[in-house]
Amino acid sequence: MRVGWGAALADLVIGADCPGCGRVTLGLCPSCRRLLRPQPAVVPLEPDTLTVVASAAYSGTAERVVRRWKDIGHTQTASWAAHALAASVAFHGSPEPLLVPVPATRRSRRRRGGWLVAELAAEATAVLAGAGVRAEVAPLARLVRQPADQRRLGVVERARNTRGAFAARPAPRGREVLVVDDVVTTGSTLRAVAAALERAGADVAGAAVVVATPPPHPHRVPLVDEPSGG
């Protein structure tokens, strides 16, 4: 994503510091850029009924960068998030995927000032086009029930909270569908959206996200093992 003078000035007003480490600079510093190079991999979720790919773990530097993007719309961090999502989409190997963003709740739209995941998906398609992948954003899913805030819910509670919360319109025939979101924790929301799409006849190939929250399980490790002090 090319950054114009207006966007750069806005970032400067927000704060001329690296969102990853706090160094004085505009956007991500070279060290954080190297550390945050997208490394797409399948997220180990249970149940594994949906193949979910993320490009980094939601911890350390990546968590700080994603929070900056979601909280204040920092242009340079939004650009990194779009490239990370594009890498996760490309990992699936579909040449012409339809990207279905997870619908935002009314609470999220008010807090974030819009539907950030849909905007992120649109930026990712531009990145993918440069790599020869003809992705399109298709807002086929919608909320039919406002789920509760999931931040303090466990695995079972999250699954119950999202079950039946989404409906979907049919996807074009012959197109593989990928559900996209910014962060995955247990995968309950992604699975609920995928189930709604499949009920509508879609060919859901999996899901792609920017980052994965390491599940609170003693036998699981973060998707990306970030060096200490990063």
Q: Which of 65-69, 106-110, 150-154, 173-177 has the lowest mean pLDDT?
A: 150-154
Evaluate whether residue 228 is within a structural domain. Answer: no
Structure tokens at 164: 């039946």
Helix (H, G, I), strand (E, B) or coil at 166: strand
- The answer as to whether 31 is a domain residue is no
Report the number of distinct structural domains present in the chain: 1
Q: What percent of the chain has pLDDT over 90?
A: 47
Range of the domain at 114: 38-212
111 pLDDT band (50/70/90 cuts)? confident
* Mean pLDDT, residues 95-104: 94
- pLDDT band for position 15 (50/70/90)? low
For the ranges 99-108, 109-118, 133-142, the one whose mean pLDDT is highest: 133-142
Question: Is residue 76 included in any domain, yes or no?
Answer: yes
The whole-number average pLDDT for the span 72-84 is: 79
pTM of the complete model: 0.80
In degrees and rounded to multiples of 5, residue 129 shows phi and psi of -60, -35
Residue 230 within any structural domain of the chain? no
Is residue 183 domain-resident? Answer: yes
CATH number, domain at 167? 3.40.50
124, part of any domain: yes
* pLDDT at position 147: 66
DSSP for 26-74 reads: SS--HHHHHHT----EE---SS-SS-EEESEESSHHHHHHHHHHHHH--
